Amino acid sequence: MNGRGPRGGQKGSRGAGGDRRAGGARGYRRPRKPGTPHLAVIRPQAPGGAAPQAPQAPGARPRLVMLRGRAGPQGGARRPAAPWRRALPVLAALAAVLGIVALSALPLRPAAAPATVPVRRDAVELGFAAQALVVREERVQVATRDGPVERLVPAGRVVRVGTPVVRIGPPNAAEEITAEVPGSVSFAVDGLEEELDPDALAWLGAGGRGAPDPAWLDGLPARRLEPPVGTARAGEPVFKIVDGSRVWLVAAAPAEAVRSLAPGEPLPVELPDLRARAAFTVLTLSAGAGERRLLVLESAAPVPDGLLHVRRTEIRVVLRRWSGLVVPATALTHEGGRLGVWVEDGGAGHFVPVKVVGQGLDQVVVEGGLREGEVVRVSRTSAGSPPGGGRQQ
């Protein structure tokens, strides 16, 4: 045979046992390394390895396929898939079903209800806060000799003329210094007493005419000297007597808030640092086009004692005050060109027109068809219509 196959000159192939077999039925296969892909020629054959029952069509070519696996006696059979790979489609379907069930079990979150507040009967104030300079009549008294200082009366004590206030000098040769004028005793001497004396501020006596601008306040120091403690030298200030019958407050106020004030207008003033209130009147308001105006207030009644012993203090000036039905400013809205509020009624709510008679920073006093205790909305889903619709009245 000379190594020739039955199909005329085609070489045979060597099997796993090393013997040469007739080629043509299974094709030529070269052994490959395990796990490497390779091409194989697939020819049709009868069961049991017999020759094909029908000849190939003229021009037909063998079918090439890519095989991956171990090279073996059967020519690169595909390795069966691992069990976990076969289970992947089932696991994916199960996860999808479980996800749908979990989502359907979650409770639906209802739409947020609009915020509401009850209508109440109260008062609304409009004002401003500032730091004020305290001006008053003060008499400073000085030490008559060197030596230790002993206080004979407490600060704030109202004394008459001739009342001993301090004793200065050694015990065997001490001298008493008495009050030269009646008033309240203060040991807080700051060196500004002469500079801020009402007689030195000519514009105070002139009804405020010629008052400086707010920059004058900015240039004043907190104090110009420290009072002696324990001992003093002759000529040093040791105490002062304050006349509390007339007190002035000078503050830089926002021009927008105080532009309508007139001299002589009464203004209640809150003193947060002293937890007190006092009655004042407008003395003057400086002119100018800036954002601040110098506002000067004069006491209209006796002031709290604490105001006689501080140079600066926080004040809150109440410019306007209204009483009535109060709602938040954010409850106001416009419907059909009318100003009003939306009132809760257990359903979609209804619109009630109102009139604003007073407005503070965030609260308003209104008149109209509202009643105390009714609940109004302070948030809207869109301008011009309440959440969920509603009716107007």
Q: Each residue of 320-367: pLDDT tens digit?
A: 889 999 999 999 999 999 999 999 988 788 999 999 999 887 899 999
Count the Cβ atoms, other than its own, within 10 Å of residue 314: 14
Locate 169 and state its tokens. 């000098």
DSSP SS3 for 215: helix
Helices of type H across the chain? 83-86, 88-105, 202-205, 215-218, 255-258
- Tell me which of 346 and 80 has the higher pLDDT: 346
| pLDDT band for position 33 (cuts 50, 70, 90) | low
Residue 249 has pLDDT above 60, yes or no: yes
- Spatial separation of the C-alpha atoms in residues 137 and 221, rounded to whole Å: 19
Burial pattern 212-223, b for ≥16 Cβ within 10 A else e, equals eebeebeeeeee
Pairing of strands 363-368, 276-285: unpaired
Given CATH 2.30.110.10, say whether it is the number of domain 116-122+323-392: no
State the distance between the two ends of the chain, measured CA to CA, in whole angstroms. Answer: 116
Residues pairing with 166 in the sheet: 151, 177
| pLDDT at position 97 | 73
For the stretch 34-75, pLDDT in tens is 555 555 555 555 555 554 555 555 555 555 455 444 444 444
φ, ψ (nearest 5 deg) of residue 260: -95, 0
pTM for this prediction: 0.59
Sign of CA dihedral 180, 186, 191, 197: negative
Query: For the chain, what are the domain ranges?
Result: 1-46, 116-122+323-392
